[in-house]
């Protein structure tokens, strides 16, 4: 069973509320460093940030609707990397997925990939709760063809919901062992985190990281 430190190393400690302030982001970074999370995930307008070198900076792109044009997403991602982002979490056009326009999804992801080459990590948010199983498979395959490093369940803002064990299992089965799967949206407890990891998640998007980690075996004082 993973302990608090193990789980923390999988967490993108997240703050994407529209009302978030720079002081809130500074507090997020301090908390992430204390908890030992892998990264913080913030909005692009919050860059640049002052963070420890070991803490990765993830930034959302085309968030939360995904209805931006590909050129705008690419420009937003490139600017974020220029301002210090290590990772980009982009949102697909979910309507294109619903219409099974997977080549359009692939082109959208490819445009962002071209703008932010490796070693920048590219995660592709698919809003799995809004998709049927065949649509999840189709967009995950498109993301992989376009060069994505991760597929990610959710923005956490869609009314259909966030991550589910079923979606994570299907995403892992679709992308195979070499592409990351990020479970995000509604992951609030240690039990949920463990379920997502068992289903195949290799990263977790969590806003309430302190509370989640407090339920982990071997959690340190103050978690």
* 182 given a catalytic annotation: yes
Average pLDDT over residues 13-30: 98
Q: So where are the chain's domains?
A: 4-213
Strand segments (E) across the chain: 11-14, 39-42, 56-61, 87-91, 121-125, 150-152, 180-184, 203-206
* 152 given a catalytic annotation: yes
Q: Please answer whether residues 41 and 13 qualify as being in contact, where contact means their C-beta atoms are separated by less than 8 angstroms.
A: yes
pLDDT for 85 equals: 98
Over the stretch 167-202, which tens digit does the pLDDT of each residue have? 999 999 999 999 999 999 999 999 999 999 999 999
Q: Is the pLDDT of residue 219 over 90?
A: no
Average pLDDT over residues 83-102: 98
Q: How far is CA 127 from CA 6, 9, 15, 177, 190, in A?
A: 26, 24, 18, 21, 22
- Which member of 12, 73, 89, 149 is catalytic? 89
Average pLDDT over residues 62-77: 98
- Which member of 73, 108, 123, 152 is catalytic? 152
**Res. 216 pLDDT band, cuts 50 70 90:** confident
Over the stretch 146-175, which tens digit does the pLDDT of each residue have? 999 999 999 999 999 999 999 999 999 999
**Res. 220 pLDDT band, cuts 50 70 90:** very low
- The predicted model scores a pTM of 0.95
Fold of 4-213: TIM Barrel (3.20.20)
């Amino acid at each position: 069973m993973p302990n608090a430190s193990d789980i923390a190393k999988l967490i993108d400690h997240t703050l994407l509320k529209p009302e978030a302030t720079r002081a809130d982001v500074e507090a997020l970074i301090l908390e992430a460093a204390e908890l030992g999370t892998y990264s913080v995930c913030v909005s692009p307008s919050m860059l640049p940030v002052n963070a420890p070198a070991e803490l990765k900076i993830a930034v959302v792109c085309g968030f939360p609707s995904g209805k931006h044009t590909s050129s705008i997403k690419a420009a937003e991602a490139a600017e974020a990397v220029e301002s210090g982002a290590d990772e980009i979490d982009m949102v697909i056009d979910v309507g294109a997925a619903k219409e099974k326009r997977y080549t359009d999804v692939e082109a959208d992801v490819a445009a962002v990939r071209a703008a932010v080459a490796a070693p920048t990590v590219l995660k592709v948010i698919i809003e799995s709760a809004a998709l049927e199983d065949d649509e999840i498979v189709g967009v995950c395959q498109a993301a992989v063809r376009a060069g994505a490093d991760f597929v990610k369940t959710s923005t956490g803002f869609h009314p259909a919901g966030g991550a589910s064990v079923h979606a994570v299992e299907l995403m892992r089965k679709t992308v195979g062992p070499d592409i990351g799967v990020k479970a995000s949206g509604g992951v609030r407890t240690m039990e949920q985190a463990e379920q997502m990891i068992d289903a195949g998640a290799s990263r977790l998007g969590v806003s309430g990281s302190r509370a989640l980690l407090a339920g982990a075996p071997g959690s340190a004082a103050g978690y």
